[in-house]
Chains A and B, each alone.
Chain A
Amino acid sequence: MMLPETAAAAAAETPDIWSQIFVFVLATFIGLGVIRRVSRLLHTPLMSITNAISAIAVVGAILVAGPEYPVEIRILGSIAVFASMTNIVSGFLITERMLKMFKTQPKPGEGPRP
């Protein structure tokens, strides 16, 4: 009597697993295509912005910290929210700070003018 239940669970689970794997593989291809075109000048800012983006883990952390779960679980989740939030804030801010420095011309009044 275990069998039908397990089979039903497996049937419900299988398509979901595959759609997740599809998303993963396709997203990796998009990632490889997009990242390959990133200017080599900007590899350091690229790293800090992908840091910030991968801190999307905050979504998972909120879903562990927020619901009606045992306290210990929610503590782990809250620490994860903190760690991800730190990455989001510092990642985006420092990327912006670095990108502001990339200029084509020296500042007017400083340096030579042709």
Chain B
Amino acid sequence: MSEGLVQLTYLVATALFVFALHWMNTPATARRGVYAGVVGMTLAVLATWAKPEVVHHLWIVVAVIAGFAVGIPLSRVPLTAVPQRTALSHAFGGLAAGLVGAAKFYLWYGEGSDQLTAFRTTAIIAEVLLGFLTFTGSLMAAGKLQEVKWIPQRPVTYPLQNVINVGLLLIAATLGVAVVLQPTAAWAPAAFGAVIALALTFGVLLIIPIGGADMPTVIAILNAYAGLAAVAMGFVLDNKLLITAGALDGSSGLILAIIMCKAMNRSFTNVLFGAFGQVQQAKAGGEERLYKAESVEGAGQVLEQANLVVIIPGYGMAVAQAQHKVRELYDQLKKRGITVKFAIHPVAGRMPGHMNVLLAEADIPYTDLVEMDEINPDMPQVDVALVVGANDVVNPAARSDKGSPIYGMPIIDADRARTVFAIKRSKNPGFAGIDNELYFSDKTWMLFGDAKNVIGELVKQMSGGSGMH
């Protein structure tokens, strides 16, 4: 295939990728976006494979088949496991970029020519740094999300943590600069290897102090790194398709990370270097306060009298696998002519948009999924707010208590509804270990138990009673 034709194909693929993302702006056209992406990718792969310099095919065929063999099962994971899958795919992306960068460096070093220009070498160093730190960092994130036993779930902190991390990065950067200045020196391959080792270590250390509540942001940041690694690869190989596609991925990760940070009222640096879990432990364990418990029967009667019910789901709903029971409750309420909306906080779940996917899987129409900013002005008109497995995102302390670690975080104003029911597994504080003022409010009634069982009981009671109407 001639170079001109290859470039033309790359241009078409780039356009298809831009359209793919453009069509994601509404669920109505989103699937078209997938098809555009598949066509663009297929064209790009075939055009590259048909280039005259590609003469060895066997290993590529084997790698492609292996990619299908691993990729197909990975696409069938339960939707609660999608955050882990996403982190794992960032790891694969980082690995691919790192390996190609390393291969190119050793190849050009071996050729001994003046292939290693300052620009190319800088790009290679950036590529392997970003690629390999994304690789181990994302593996750690995936491990934490999957709750792998030997990876601690709680944030791990130790003295001088940030000093050590920044120090490692500085050493890697210094070695990188040395390689750029003298790429053909005898010590360059060793220094290059050290940069790889440092990047791998840095990725692990970066994720160790991060807790589950910060995962949405971290996944988005790793997404941006994986994209930037692809951009660097494009610089190395002088390939504009790689640069464009990587930039699209990078900007997506960046925007999602910004949205997540805003939704938690925190900065990037605070997420990466703040070790969220540490702050609150001093606050917990204050005076004992009493919850008001309510029976399922009582809650069912109040729900039946309501006109407008807002359900506020959190990660606890996913953990309890309660989304299908929630859907049954939604049906029961709808049958009685009650308006039901779902209020979705941007950081509910373990990755951006996670709650929406879980509820869509349970066949809840997406037109009833409402964002936090849209629902909050209507909260005073809401008869019943039902909190299912959410905690920090409905904690009024974020608005009022300056001493609270979540102060300033935008929340769903559940406390402004006329009545609040909160389903909670135990009487312990939530994930962040912070007491929730909402649970002690006059209009809040607690339903203790597993979310799936409690909602199942509610549904059973309401469907039993519906015959009387």
Contacts and interface: CB of A to CB of B under 8 A. Distances in A.
Interface string A82-95: 11111111111111
B63 A82 contact: yes
Nearest to A32: B251
Contacts of B251: 28, 31-32, 35
Given A57-B97, A84-B93, A45 B71 contact: no
Interface string B325-345: 000000100110000000010
A48 B468 CA distance: 47
Interface string A4-46: 0000010001001100100110011011101111111111111
Interface in A60-109: 60-70, 72-107
A56 B371 contact: no
Contacts of B239: 59-60
Given A66-B54, A112-B335, A47 B97 contact: no
Contacts, number: 379
A113 to B, nearest CB: 10
Contacts of B353: 40-47
A31 B245 CA distance: 9
A24 B335 contact: no
B250 A78 contact: no
Interface in B226-269: 226-227, 229-231, 233-256, 259
Nearest to A103: B365
B257 to A, nearest CB: 11
Contacts of B40: 53
Given A63-B48, A74-B56, A53 B82 contact: no
B56 A103 contact: no
A47 B245 contact: no
B235 A58 contact: no
B130 to A, nearest CB: 12
Contacts of A51: 86, 89-90, 93, 223, 226, 249
Interface residues of A, number: 88
A90 B74 contact: yes
Contacts of A62: 45, 48-49, 54, 60
A56 B241 contact: yes
Given A65-B59, A77-B100, A83-B95, A47 B352 contact: yes
A43 to B, nearest CB: 3
A89 B85 CA distance: 13
A97 B71 CA distance: 14
Contacts of B45: 58-59, 62
* Interface size of B as a range: 35 or more
Interface stretch (B21-29, B140-148, B275-283): B21-29
B459 interface: no
B361 interface: yes
B418 interface: no
B294 interface: no
B101 to A, nearest CB: 9
B96 interface: yes
B59 A74 contact: yes
B75 A24 contact: no
B64 A81 contact: yes
Contact of A63 (B51, B93, B360): B51
Contacts of B369: 41
A76 B55 contact: no
B308 interface: no
Nearest to A21: B235
Given A67-B55, A90-B72, A104-B366, A9 B252 contact: no
B62 interface: yes
Contact of A83 (B18, B96, B366): B96
Nearest to B373: A40
Given A51-B86, A53-B245, A87-B89, 14 more contacts: A9-B117, A35-B248, A35-B252, A46-B352, A55-B92, A57-B229, A57-B246, A66-B56, A70-B110, A76-B100, A84-B93, A85-B66, A105-B365, A110-B363
19 contacts: A13-B117, A17-B119, A34-B22, A37-B25, A38-B21, A43-B259, A45-B30, A46-B353, A47-B223, A53-B21, A56-B241, A60-B236, A68-B53, A82-B70, A83-B92, A89-B68, A98-B360, A99-B27, A103-B360
Interface of A: 9, 13, 16-17, 20, 23-24, 27-28, 30-32, 34-70, 72-107, 110-112
